[in-house]
Amino acid sequence: MIQVAIVSGKGGTGKTTLSAALNLLFEDNVIADCDVDAPNLHLIFQPIKQRSYDYYGGKKAVIDYSKCTSCGVCEKFCRFDAVRRDGDKIVIDPFACEGCGVCVLKCPFEAVKLVESKAGEYYESLASVAQRPMVHAKLKAGEETSGGLVAEVRKTALKFEESGKQLVIIDGAPGIGCPATSSIVGVSYVVIVTEPTVSGLHDLQRIVETVRHYRRNFGVVINKSTINPEKRDEILRYAEKEGIVILGEIPFDPTVNTATINGKSILEYPESPAARSIVRIYEKLKEILKI
Amino acid sequence: MIITVLSGKGGTGKTTVATNLAWVLSQSRKVQLLDADVEEPNDHLFLPPQIEETEPVEMLLPQVDQKACIKCGKCAKVCQFGAISVFKTGVMVFDSLCHGCGACALVCPKNAITEVPKAIGEVKSGKVHERINFSMGILNIGEPSGVKVIRKLKEKIDPSADIVIVDAPPGTSCPVVEALRGSDFALLVTEPTPFGLHDLQMAVELVSEMGIKAGIVVNRDSRGYESVERFSEESDIPILMRIPYDPQIAELYSRGILFSSHLPQWKVEFERLFEKIREMVEA
Ligand code: SF4
Ligand code: SF4
């Protein structure tokens, strides 16, 4: 299956706008929202859940107070500052616990154990707006294992190959850490969205390095390209020097904001400059992917 | 007082609010700004610091002495992250999965595992000017988690500063929790769209679970979407400031310029914002 991931070094560059539109333009694809920390595609696609799965990210330490003597050995060995003394009681901070089990190993009274903890859910749905399968997720606030949940979403999306789907469009996680890299490992093509600002260029360089680290083919879209012509030129020069493909530019267009406020894709405003440029980007992508 | 600036999602203007607030407050106070968005730190682009000190952030990775190892498999069994495997030919550690917890070294009966430090990022510190101390964490490319970098960054908190502003990473996952821990106040930056509202709700869920007082800044405010107001009322998290949608602000931002330094009325606005925060923290 062809997998295309849309990413940005940072949130807010217009990644969701572009990926929602591309998801609509490609006809027979599976929609995968891998921005599990702050998923937004469902606001546009209005998915109807058909199946939910629990996601267990990892374990957490739990103290059995009938055995605990508050000796504090666990506190000494925990490297994540997850064990604290609260008065004469030893408590575990579930937000800090990484579930490594060192406290379990060291407790002289066998008072600590690791228990599975539910970190979120993921869903197989039918997008009621685009009438195609959609896989998305919700991570519980404060959980760390979002990279694992991203992997589950992607795996679930691949299952649709059996029903004849050939393409998955992934709305990737922002950043360059574990959820972001989890969104790009093994994909066929990466679309990086950037914007012409001082920070946009800085973030672009970091994500380009990251994508190269994972040896993926990629191209860049400059969003809101008209807000700062100088920075835009700087991005183009950087791209040329580095031999980076520019897939297209989307001019700054207030219609995008109107569409967002109304929870609609920009494609519902087909005459808008932003929608027109996204269609051109889509055509270029089709050429590159040979589909 | 420690104020952490966060947003359910990136791009809502978190950096803008953190840097402008730091700059305005520093006109008359001692401010410390910590950029905890270690995957993509940007504050330094708006408030360029003189970096005086760079410290590595390290984690411990197990290293196996293959000669001493008897391939008993205890290390692999104890590892909760599948980061160490025992093969006939020897033991392998998968660095990117390892959390550096030390469990494998603890259980090895032959003391065949030693732990060696590996750099995963750095913390840079310096001054923007006399009254803004600045530190930022930077995660190395290819490293999975910024939590340790944030933890090290937060060791820099200077109790003698009047105000500490922490620019948190986007999202609501583990690094955000690390950034928020110990804060007196969470300033939630959002924009008035269904996306913004959705991410704001998740951020509110997190701060209430952590028991941290919070207020909202609406960025790129424009008429036509009232749901943030409704949510603010229902959840009892007040809207403390609104930054309108303004091409001039966007343009200044794109050039790396703080709008409060160019548009003087915003100095007053940010001072007012801080007053409201102080009232809430002291209440
Ligand atoms: S626990 Fe020690 S001896 Fe046993 S397999 Fe691991 S490294 Fe080798
Ligand atoms: S240090 Fe912890 S996470 Fe790393 S290999 Fe050893 S047991 Fe696994």
Q: What confidence tens digit (pLDDT) does each residue in B114-138 have?
A: 999 999 999 999 999 999 999 999 9
User: Is B10 within 8 Å of A210 when comparing Cβ atoms?
Assistant: no
Residue B187 main-chain phi, psi, to 5 deg: -100, 115
For the Cβ of B100 lying below 6 angstroms from any atom of ligand 2, the answer is yes
Among A257, A254, A247, A245, CA closest to A277: A247
The mean pLDDT of B138-147, rounded to a whole number, is 84
Burial zone of A232 (CB within 10 Å; 0-12 exposed, 13-18 middle, 19+ buried):
buried
Rounded to an integer, what distance in angstroms lies between the CA atom of residue B136 and that of residue B51?
10
Measure CB to CB from residue A100 to each of B103, B181, B250 and give the nearest one: B103
Nearest to B54 by CA among B131, B145, B135, B140: B135
The rounded distance, in Å, linking the Cα atoms of A153 and A201 is 30
Strand (E) or helix (H) holding A25: helix A15-25
Asked if the model's pLDDT at residue B244 lies above 90, the reply is no
How many other C-beta atoms can be found within 10 angstroms of the C-beta atom of residue B102? 18
- Statement: the pTM of the whole predicted model exceeds 0.80: no
Distance A2 CA to ligand 1 centre (A): 41
- Average pLDDT on B210-234 reads 86
- Specify the residue with its C-alpha closest to ligand 1, atom 1: B108
Contact B199, B191 (CB under 8 A): no
Q: pLDDT value at position A118? A: 87
**Residue B186 CA to ligand 2 centre (angstroms):** 34
Looking from the CA of residue B71, the nearest atom of ligand 1 is: 5
Question: Which letter, b or e, does each residue of A244-278 get, where b requires 16 or more Cβ atoms within 10 Å of its Cβ?
Answer: bebbbbbbbbeebbbbbbeebbbbbbeebbbbebb
Choose the mutation target among B19, B155, B173, B188 for the interface with A, i.e. most A CBs under 10 Å. B173
* pLDDT value of residue A117: 84
Residue B137 backbone phi and psi in degrees, to 5: -105, 145
User: Under an 8 A CB cutoff, do A144 and B173 touch?
Assistant: yes
Residue B210 banded pLDDT, cuts 50, 70, 90: confident
What is the pLDDT at residue B227? 84
Whether residue A271 contacts residue A258, with contact meaning beta carbons closer than 8 Å, is answered with: no
Whether residue B124 lies within 8 A of chain A, CB to CB, comes out as no
Helices A15-25, A254-261: crossing angle, 10 deg rounding? 80
Question: Which of B14, B16, B39 to mutate to probe the A interface, most A CBs <10 Å?
Answer: B39
Bridge partners (DSSP) listed for residue A56: A118
pLDDT computed for residue B8 by the predictor = 66
Alpha carbon distance A209, B250 (integer Å): 27
pLDDT, position B121 = 94
Phi, psi (deg, nearest 5) at residue B87 = -115, 170
Query: Which chain A residues have a beta carbon less than 8 Å from that of B198?
Result: 38, 40, 43
Chain B nearest-CA distance from A287, in A, is: 30
Tokens of B39: 């995957």
Mean pLDDT by 10 residues, chain A (291 residues): 89 84 92 88 93 90 94 92 89 88 95 91 93 92 76 93 92 81 90 89 88 91 91 94 95 90 90 95 94 83
Distance, CA of A187 to CA of A190 (rounded, Å): 7
User: Cβ of B194 and A263 within 8 Å?
Assistant: yes
The per-residue pLDDT for range B17-50, each reduced to its tens digit, is 999 999 999 999 999 999 999 988 889 999 999 9
| pLDDT given for residue A145 in this prediction | 59
